[in-house]
Amino acid sequence: MTLLDRLPGMTDAEVINLLANARRLSEGADPVRAAAAGEILPALETEAETRSAAKSAALSAARKARVPTKRKAAVETAVVEVA
């Protein structure tokens, strides 16, 4: 099983850490490590971006779900005060 095969099972923190390490190694002095890091770097960047977008979408959906409840409570409070 290659490292790329294990990406879907990794946590977000593990993917971000691996991406940081691959970036560091791709700029290093050792050409063998730089080449290996360069091979997996595009897949890691794609995975990190996909997870970030999914996380942002989930947070946005959660915020949208909460907003009407707060507005509804504010309207009900205003109606009670007027009456």
The CA R_g of the chain, rounded to the nearest whole Å, is: 22
> Is a pLDDT exceeding 80 seen at residue 62?
yes
Place of tokens 């099972």: 9
Question: Tell me: the pLDDT tens digits for 4-29?
Answer: 999 999 999 999 999 999 999 999 88
Confidence grade of residue 83 (pLDDT, cut at 50, 70, 90): low
Range of the domain at 27: 3-82
Cβ(15)–Cβ(46) below 8 Å: no
> Is a pLDDT exceeding 80 seen at residue 67?
no
pLDDT at 1: 86
Cα–Cα distance for residue pair 76/81, rounded to 1 Å: 9
Cα–Cα distance for residue pair 36/3, rounded to 1 Å: 11
Residue type at position 66: R
Cα–Cα distance for residue pair 51/14, rounded to 1 Å: 12
Residues in the chain, how many?
Answer: 83
Structural domain tally of the chain? 1
